[in-house]
Structure 1
Amino acid sequence: MRLTILALTATFPLLYGAEWSKNFQTSDAPVLDVRCGDANVDVRTGGTGIAARLITRGWEIRPGEVEVIERQTGDRVDIEVKLPRNENWNWNIGNRGIKLELQVPAKTRFHINTGDGNVKLSGLQADSRIETGDGNIEGDNVAGRMEARTGDGNVRIAGRFDLLAVQTGDGNVDLSATRGSTATAAWRIQTGDGNVSLEVPADMKMDLDATTGDGHVRSSLPLLIGAGKVGGSQLRGKLNGGGPTISIRTNDGNITLNESR
């Protein structure tokens, strides 16, 4: 009997958690700013206004543990998820987790910053900026001006873009700019260590500047090559007469360029 009680006590942190939720009434084009110390963030479109739901595992939502600070000013909503500053909680980190789920109008302009967590986006049709210290960034059916940065993680985004600025310290980058995408300004794509795959529409006007420190640049696009060569470590050229520059850099990895489907 004593052994049974000890086992239940040892596994108790796996069993508890908490949930917080709130709905914000907004127009169909609000501004959302999210800051999380350590959380995965999942953003999807649907409904009216902004619906936020925070789910924890191994944490309570209360002063001294996970705290939610939210405020709304007109069409702007700010949500901050704060963790305790006590450094002794790390012994149980494997049993703990935080996830923030957001349902927003498609035209929501947003900024997401999480210290350590993955970010997933789906259906957003407005300008966005995503930052995570350590985590993957994924986006499907997004549009507008997109900035994405992670200190350590893979980036995979598909959508119709006017501007792309993507950076990862260590990870692969997989980008698909679908039909209707245009380079209204220079695009910057960079990884410290990883492969880069970029798909662009066949009618896109751009200048290409792609360089890898250790790898090859491969392209099936009908480029007018100005420097380097296909299969080498550097390739510069123009597509459809040229346009704003798309700069691609990796210190260690291959760069692949193809026409988007």
Structure 2
Amino acid sequence: MSEPQYLETAQGRRLAYHRTGGEGPMVVFLGGLKSDMEGTKALYLEDWARAQGRAFLRFDYSGHGQSSGVFEEGSIADWHEDTLAAVEALTEGPLVVVGSSMGGWQALLLARAMPARVAGLVTIAAAPDFTEDGYWAGFSDAQKAEIEAGRNVELPSDYMEPYVVTRKMIEDGLRHLVLRAPLDLPFPVRMLQGTADTAVSVATAVALLEHATSPDMRLLLVKDADHRFSDDTCLQLIERAVEDVST
């Protein structure tokens, strides 16, 4: 395994990344909450990009993987700043952005911030607005009281250790919602979603499909695929989706 390079951001964060040279549009992978750039999907796409002679970038948000920071101190805005910093410093020209889970929300924020740079978008179990529509909406009165008092709430996960939810994450997420105002995606979009996903529902995927505007936006439901979306069949579907929005 090669050692990552590091980017120092204007906010004083140190982001670990791997960048592969090649032709464009450059593929940028945005990982999920508490995931890192060493995940199956990121590495599969990197290998695919290298074989195709395509430029590719994967990186860790602050508080994730090999980057600086503590996860519990981060928020949607912090990770959006990290994404913008990585894109501005490490890429040029048009991009194909691939966002997984929380990375799907980050991909939509990136597209909203710099639509002219995005040539195509692929989401995998995208989780836009999950801090509000998932966490906060599902909290009991007692859990909401804990958050409002500045204490953390732990939520079990079917896929990893419990998620730690902070007041900062809830309040910051509320300021970065993408499903409450018009969301124009002026490029091809491919959305991939498993029907057995217990972290992100099919209803969330349908809500995003119905809410956004795009000249070419399609949702593919994969029966019995879970949130990892990382078996051989799912990885090949991701590859084909990237190829589809790259043409």
Give the TM-score taking structure 1 as reference length. 0.29
Higher share of residues assigned helix: 2
Higher share of residues assigned strand: 1
Choose between structure 1 and 2 for higher RCO, CA contacts under 8 A separated by at least 6 residues.
2
Larger radius of gyration: 1
